[in-house]
């Protein structure tokens, strides 16, 4: 695939430089979600911006990447204390604009907007009328204080674009634990999905809420699990139109990913299918259950 061919799955957002003990590793939703879509068999493309300090990206071989030049790569430091993540936002790459998306890529069946650092406008949701417009919202909710701590600061144009989002995936942590803010976001889009970590997920659609549990895993590293879950949900829903199947598939994919550390924890399609059978078999799933 190249810029003249339409991918199955397009992601727009910053790959990041994540500081961990011992150095820096590749991170960001485009990395975790892009590799997930790729390993699930989708022709995947990423529009991003990185600087010369970007970590090695060999693991993304096979994914077409367009990068806007920048002086530095968007950089975060993630600190986990008693299961809660605290972040520092240390650098930001270039803004991403509609003209940065190759024309052939604008027809992708799945367009995943994955802001990490307010680098793209929520108005971009309106640019893909023929695609399933999917969003992981955390980067539109991030600001930073004088000490570079990440704080809750929603993009001022976010509310005006919520109605153009087909599927939104988020966690309560994305809104700093504000239940009312989370409910507003989840019910202002066509399909809202709240990730619950070891509790599975909740799907919000047409005024109804569907809780889909999952067997908890012993966590080695939860970083990126929500992004992996999101990509799996988007892929499965686009294939089936079935919310329950998409949620179970995404639960299986996300729960597998916490068993290992870093982006290499993204599972393969075969691994997901085997784990899905372990989690939900022999319970039957009616063909039309949860479909829209």
DSSP assignments along 64-108, one per residue: EEEEEE-SS--EEEEEEETTEEEEEEEE------GGGS-GGGGG-
* Domain 9-280 CATH superfamily: Ribokinase (3.40.1190.20)
Give the position of tokens 């699990």. 225
**CA distance readout (Å), 287 to 13, 204, 214, 241:** 34, 19, 20, 10
Positive or negative, the CA dihedral 139, 144, 149, 152 is negative
pLDDT, tens digit only, all 292 positions of the chain? 568 789 999 999 999 999 988 889 999 999 999 999 999 999 999 999 999 999 999 999 999 999 999 999 999 997 777 767 788 999 999 999 999 999 999 999 999 999 999 999 999 999 999 999 999 999 999 999 999 999 999 999 999 999 999 999 999 989 989 999 999 999 999 999 999 988 899 999 999 999 999 887 666 566 678 899 999 999 999 999 999 999 999 998 888 866 666 677 788 888 888 888 888 875 534 333 344 4
CB of 291 closer than 8 Å to CB of 243: yes
Q: What is the pLDDT of residue 282?
A: 53
Per domain, the residue ranges of the chain are 9-280
How far is C-alpha 232 from the chain's CA centre?
9
What burial class does residue 43 get, using C-beta atoms within 10 Å of its C-beta: 0-12 exposed, 13-18 middle, 19+ buried? middle
Q: What pLDDT does residue 83 have?
A: 65
List all residues 6 or more positions away from 22 whose beta carbon is below 8 Å from its beta carbon.
none
pLDDT of residue 291: 40
Q: Residue 72's pLDDT is what?
A: 98
- C-beta of residue 20 within 8 angstroms of C-beta of residue 263: no
Residue 233 and residue 54: Cα distance in Å, rounded? 28
User: Of the candidates 52, 93, 58, which has an alpha carbon nearest to the alpha carbon of residue 75?
Assistant: 93
Instruction: Report whether 113 contacts 54 (CB < 8 A).
Output: no
Do residues 111 and 51 lie in contact, with contact meaning Cβ atoms separated by under 8 Å?
no
Question: What is residue 291's DSSP assignment?
Answer: B
- pTM for this structure? 0.91
Neighbours of 107 (CB within 10 A): 13
Contact yes or no for 115/88 (Cβ under 8 A): no
Measure the CA–CA gap between 37 and 39, rounded to whole angstroms: 6
């Amino acid at each position: 695939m190249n810029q003249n061919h339409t991918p199955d799955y397009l992601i727009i957002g910053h790959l990041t430089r994540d500081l961990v003990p011992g150095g820096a590793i590749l991170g960001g939703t485009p990395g975790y979600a892009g590799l997930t879509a790729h390993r699930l068999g989708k022709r995947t493309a990423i529009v991003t911006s990185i600087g010369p300090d970007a970590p090695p990206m060999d693991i993304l071989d096979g994914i077409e990447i367009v990068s806007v030049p920048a002086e530095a790569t968007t950089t975060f430091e993630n600190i986990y204390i008693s299961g809660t993540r605290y972040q520092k936002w240390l650098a930001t790459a270039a803004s991403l604009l509609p003209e940065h998306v190759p024309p052939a890529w604008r027809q992708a069946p799945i367009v995943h907007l994955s802001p990490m650092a307010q680098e793209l406008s929520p108005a971009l949701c309106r640019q893909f009328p023929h695609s399933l417009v999917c969003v992981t919202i955390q980067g539109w909710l991030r600001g930073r204080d004088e000490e570079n701590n990440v704080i809750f600061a929603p993009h001022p144009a976010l509310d005006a674009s919520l109605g153009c989002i087909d599927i939104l995936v988020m966690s309560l942590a994305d809104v700093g634990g504000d239940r009312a803010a989370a409910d507003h976001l989840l019910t202002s889009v066509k399909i809202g999905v709240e990730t619950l970590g070891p509790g599975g997920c909740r799907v919000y659609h047409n005024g109804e809420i569907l809780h889909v549990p999952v067997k908890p895993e012993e966590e080695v590293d939860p970083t990126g699990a929500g992004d992996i879950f999101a990509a799996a949900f988007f892929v499965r829903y686009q294939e089936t139109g079935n919310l329950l199947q998409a949620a179970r598939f995404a639960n299986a994919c996300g729960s597998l990913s916490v068993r290992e550390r870093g982006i290499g924890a993204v599972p393969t399609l075969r691994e997901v299918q085997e784990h899905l059978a372990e989690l939900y078999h022999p319970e039957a799933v009616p063909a039309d259950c949860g479909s829209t």
